[in-house]
Amino acid sequence: MNFFLRQRWRDARLAHNSSGVPVLELHRKALEEVWVPDIYFVNEKNAHFHYVSVPNKMFNVFPDGKVSYSIRVTGTYTCEMDLRKYPLDKQTCHIKIESYGHSTNSLKIRWNSPPVLLSKNIKMTQYSVEKTVPFICDQQYMEYNYSCIGVNFHLNRMNGFYFIHMYVPSILIVMLSWISFWLDIEATAARISLGILTVLAMTTQNKFTGVQHVSYVTAMNVWTAASLAFVFLGVIEYAYINVKTRKHVRRSLNRATSNLSMNGNNPILNGSIYSISKKDTNFSQGSQKKNTPNVIDLDNKNGRKVDRLARIVFPMSYVLFNIVYWSFYGIWEPVQDDPKLVH
């Protein structure tokens, strides 16, 4: 963050009666001989003043001893973020300014009016500044009180990137997985390949969309987990159909083989469990004839029923999930503790 820190105080020792000069502009070298407040930034990680092409400092003295001191500062400051609603979140970051060595008995820091002015040219890639709220944060260390002021920056995350690169693609991937329900039951390779590819697409997308690594669940975690679950369940649906079909074919074939053996017939199977069910097998004992049911047609019919049900259940469930997801995260706001505000 780059800003101008402007301070004002009164020092009777600097009062003057310079005729024709209402304001004395001191040279930067003279600042070493003048008292300035010993303030520091409480939550600063790294900060520095600017010296290109000269030190960016300004020190003005008025006739009554009032001092105006301005300096340009660039720094990085800590901000404790609550990412449970990420990337639909709002964050509150603050900067605290405190006296290092003077208690409130000798130095009291307060905001002037207006406390914070934002440049109209500020444009950030991830956040927009909703508002700034100044506050007082006087602290007690040991037996002494120290003056402290701060300002809260209320930030709104600009989530257009996440809609384009995460939400919309994941919706399309989930919808793509539903194509499996319209493919023929016997198209095993196509349905399995489609399911695996959509699962891999979801996994790869999650890896490259800037997911925050935190120890709690975020809104993005909920979305990706649910989308991956819908894609995975599409694969499970076909696995269920395939297993049930093979079991039913095997049982029907065993019954048919048992009937043939009891009637003195010994049909030769050509290595396929479906060979006996391709057409009706007629056999007779005396004048009696029996027909073996067409197992494949029966099982395909049952599998198609499951597919038709999935065509309705999966889209409706996903729409319901979207309604609940966007309604909940559109209303819910995590509670953040704010310092005492200035009124």
Q: In the chain, where are the structural domains located?
A: 1-78, 82-158, 162-331
Closest CA to 166 of 225, 215, 117: 225
Taken in order 278, 279, 284, 290, the sign of the CA dihedral is positive
For 17-59, how does the pLDDT look when each residue is reduced to its tens digit (9 = 90+)? 876 778 888 887 788 888 999 999 999 999 998 988 888 989 9
Residue 301 CA: distances (Å) to CA of 75, 239, 291: 69, 16, 19
Q: State how far the Cα of 239 lies from the Cα of 303, in Å rounded to an integer.
A: 11
CB distance 310 to 318 below 8 Å? no
Cis status of the peptide bond prior to 114, with omega within 30 of 0: yes
CATH topology agreement for domains 1-78 and 82-158: yes
In the block, tokens 């605290």 appear at: 96
Supply the pLDDT for residue 316.
97
Residue 71 has a CB neighbour count (10 Å cut-off) of 18
Cis status of the peptide bond prior to 106, with omega within 30 of 0: no
**Annotation: CATH topology of 1-78:** Acetylcholine Binding Protein; Chain: A, (2.70.170)
pLDDT above 70 as % of the chain: 80
Q: State how far the Cα of 55 lies from the Cα of 51, in Å rounded to an integer.
A: 4
* Domain 162-331 homologous superfamily, CATH: Neurotransmitter-gated ion-channel transmembrane domain (1.20.58.390)
Q: Using a cut of 0.85, tell me whether the model's pTM lies above it.
A: no
Report the helix count and the strand count for the chain, using DSSP H and E: 5, 13
Q: Which two tokens stand for residue 169?
A: 């693609």
Q: Which two tokens stand for residue 224?
A: 């990706």
pLDDT above 90 as % of the chain: 44
CB distance 305 to 241 below 8 Å? no
**How confident is the prediction along the chain (343 residues), in pLDDT tens digits per residue?**
899 999 999 998 888 887 677 888 888 778 888 899 999 999 999 999 898 888 898 999 998 889 999 999 999 999 999 999 999 999 999 999 999 989 999 899 999 988 999 988 888 888 999 999 999 999 888 888 999 999 999 999 998 889 998 999 999 999 999 998 888 877 778 888 888 898 888 888 777 666 678 889 999 999 999 999 999 999 898 888 877 776 555 555 555 555 555 555 544 444 444 444 444 444 444 333 444 445 445 556 777 888 899 999 999 999 999 999 999 999 998 876 655 544 4
* Domain 82-158 homologous superfamily, CATH: Neurotransmitter-gated ion-channel ligand-binding domain (2.70.170.10)
